[in-house]
Structure 1
Amino acid sequence: MDDVQNGFGAESGADAASVVSLVHACAKRTPGAPALRWLGEPLGKGEEVWSYRAMWGASCAAASKLRALVGPRLSKTVEVCVGDMPLKVGLMVTEGTALPLLELAILLNSWAIVPLDPEEPAARLRLVLEDAGPLAAILVDDAHKSAATELLAGLTTGVSAGFSDSRASGYAANDGLSTSCHRGNCAVQKQVASQLPLLVQPYELLPTEPGHAQEMDFEEPELRPSGASVSHVFYTSGSTGRPKGCVCTHANLAAYCLAKNAAHQVGLDSVVFVASAHTFDPSLGDFMATWASGGCVAMAPRRILGAALGACLRQLQATHLLTTPAHFATIEASSSSVTGPADLPQLQVVALGGELMSQQIVDTWASSHVRLLNTYGVTECTVYQ
Structure 2
Amino acid sequence: MQAPAPLFLHSGFQASVQRVPEKPALSLRGQSWTYRELDGIARLWASALTGLEKRPRRVGILGHRSIVTYAGFLAVLYAGATVVPLNKKYPAARNQDILERAEVDVVLADPGSLAQLGPLLDGLADAPLLVLPESDEPPANLPPGVRVLTRRDVENRVPLAEPAAGDPKDTAYLLFTSGSTGRPKGVPISHANLAAFLSANVERYDFTEDDRFTNTFDQTFDPSVFDLFMAWGSGGCLFPMDTFDLMTPLDFVRGNDITVWFAVPSVAVLQHSRGKLEPGSLPSLRWSLFCGEALPATTAQAWLEAAPGSLLENLYGPTEATITCLVHRWDPRTSPAALVNGIVSIGSPYPGMAAAVLAEDGRPVPDGEPGELCLCGPQVFEGYLNAPELTENAFHTTVSEDGRTHRWYRTGDLVRRTAGGEHGYMGRLDTQVKVLGHRIETGEVEAHLLRQKGVDQAIVVAVPGEEEGVTVLAGILTGDDLDVYDVDDELRRTLPPHMIPMTYHLLDTVPLNPNGKVDRTALRRQVVSGELAALIP
**TM-score normalised to structure 2 length:** 0.52
Checking the alignment, whether the CA contact within 8 Å between 2:66 and 2:110 is kept in structure 1 is: no
Deviation of 1:53 (Å)? 1.0
Larger Rg over CA atoms: 2
1:49 is paired with a residue of what secondary structure? Answer: strand
Match of 1:315 among 241, 255, 269: 255
Following the alignment from structure 1 to structure 2, what is the Cα–Cα distance between the partners of residues 21 and 346? 28
Checking the alignment, whether the CA contact within 8 Å between 2:171 and 2:189 is kept in structure 1 is: yes
Deviates more, 1:309-318 or 1:260-269: 260-269
Match of 2:79 among 105, 109, 121: 109
Q: Deviations over 1:121-175 (max 9, x none)?
A: 344334323431x21111122222222221211313xxxxxxxxxxxxxx4xxxx
| Distance change >3 Å, CA 200–CA 333, structure 1 → 2 | farther
Residue 134 of structure 2 corresponds to which residue in structure 1?
Answer: 203
Residue 221 of structure 1 corresponds to which residue in structure 2?
Answer: 162
Following the alignment from structure 2 to structure 1, what is the Cα–Cα distance between the partners of residues 277 and 185? 37
Task: Kindly indicate whether residue 265 of structure 2 is the aligned counterpart of residue 325 of structure 1.
Answer: yes
Residue 27 of structure 1 corresponds to which residue in structure 2?
Answer: 17
Deviation of 1:111 (Å)? 0.4
1:19 is paired with a residue of what secondary structure? Answer: coil
Following the alignment from structure 1 to structure 2, what is the Cα–Cα distance between the partners of residues 321 and 314? 11
Deviation of 1:341 (Å)? 5.3
Counterpart amino acid of residue 36 in structure 1: L
Following the alignment from structure 2 to structure 1, what is the Cα–Cα distance between the partners of residues 43 and 150? 10
Following the alignment from structure 1 to structure 2, what is the Cα–Cα distance between the partners of residues 110 and 27? 19
Following the alignment from structure 1 to structure 2, what is the Cα–Cα distance between the partners of residues 155 and 243? 19
Checking the alignment, whether the CA contact within 8 Å between 1:56 and 1:218 is kept in structure 2 is: no
Residue 155 of structure 1 corresponds to which residue in structure 2?
Answer: 124
Counterpart amino acid of residue 129 in structure 2: L
Counterpart amino acid of residue 104 in structure 2: L
Checking the alignment, whether the CA contact within 8 Å between 1:307 and 1:330 is kept in structure 2 is: no
Following the alignment from structure 2 to structure 1, what is the Cα–Cα distance between the partners of residues 222 and 288? 17
Q: Deviations over 1:300-334 (max 9, x none)?
A: 3x231231211111111111121101123343356
2:76 is paired with a residue of what secondary structure? Answer: helix
| Distance change >3 Å, CA 333–CA 140, structure 1 → 2 | farther
Checking the alignment, whether the CA contact within 8 Å between 1:20 and 1:224 is kept in structure 2 is: no
Residue 18 of structure 1 corresponds to which residue in structure 2?
Answer: 8
Residue 101 of structure 2 corresponds to which residue in structure 1?
Answer: 131
Structure 2 unaligned residues grouped into runs of 5+: 136-148, 325-380, 382-537
2:162 is paired with a residue of what secondary structure? Answer: coil
Following the alignment from structure 2 to structure 1, what is the Cα–Cα distance between the partners of residues 160 and 278? 43
Q: Deviations over 1:333-365 (max 9, x none)?
A: 568xx6445121111112111111123212213
Deviation of 1:285 (Å)? 2.6
How many residues were matched structurally? 303
Match of 2:309 among 339, 360, 369: 369
Q: Deviations over 1:34-79 (max 9, x none)?
A: 11112x3xxxxxx2121111111111112112333xx12x2xxxx3
Higher normalized helix content (fraction of residues): 1
Counterpart amino acid of residue 109 in structure 1: A
Counterpart amino acid of residue 117 in structure 2: A
| Match runs of 1:214-253 below 5 Å | 221-238=162-179, 241-253=182-194
Deviation of 1:248 (Å)? 1.0
Deviates more, 1:103-112 or 1:136-145: 136-145
Task: Kindly indicate whether residue 229 of structure 2 is the aligned counterpart of residue 288 of structure 1.
Answer: yes
Deviation of 1:370 (Å)? 2.1
Counterpart amino acid of residue 262 in structure 2: L
1:329 is paired with a residue of what secondary structure? Answer: helix
| Match runs of 1:3-82 below 5 Å | 17-38=7-28, 40=29, 47-68=30-51, 71-72=52-53, 74=54, 79=55
| Distance change >3 Å, CA 143–CA 333, structure 1 → 2 | farther
| Distance change >3 Å, CA 382–CA 135, structure 1 → 2 | closer
Identity %: 29
**TM-score normalised to structure 1 length:** 0.71
Checking the alignment, whether the CA contact within 8 Å between 1:59 and 1:206 is kept in structure 2 is: no
Checking the alignment, whether the CA contact within 8 Å between 1:271 and 1:318 is kept in structure 2 is: yes
Checking the alignment, whether the CA contact within 8 Å between 1:258 and 1:289 is kept in structure 2 is: no
Following the alignment from structure 1 to structure 2, what is the Cα–Cα distance between the partners of residues 219 and 144? 26
Deviation of 1:225 (Å)? 2.7
Checking the alignment, whether the CA contact within 8 Å between 2:231 and 2:238 is kept in structure 1 is: yes
Checking the alignment, whether the CA contact within 8 Å between 1:89 and 1:135 is kept in structure 2 is: yes
Q: Deviations over 1:66-105 (max 9, x none)?
A: 333xx12x2xxxx36xxxxxx0001112212332111001
Deviation of 1:383 (Å)? 4.2
| Distance change >3 Å, CA 280–CA 321, structure 1 → 2 | same
Following the alignment from structure 1 to structure 2, what is the Cα–Cα distance between the partners of residues 26 and 377? 27
Following the alignment from structure 1 to structure 2, what is the Cα–Cα distance between the partners of residues 108 and 298? 22
Following the alignment from structure 1 to structure 2, what is the Cα–Cα distance between the partners of residues 245 and 258? 25
Following the alignment from structure 2 to structure 1, what is the Cα–Cα distance between the partners of residues 208 and 178? 32
2:18 is paired with a residue of what secondary structure? Answer: helix
Higher normalized strand content (fraction of residues): 2
C-alpha RMSD over aligned residues:
2.9
Counterpart amino acid of residue 263 in structure 1: R
Structure 1 unaligned residues grouped into runs of 5+: 1-10, 41-46, 81-86, 157-170, 172-195
Match of 1:260 among 201, 204, 212: 201
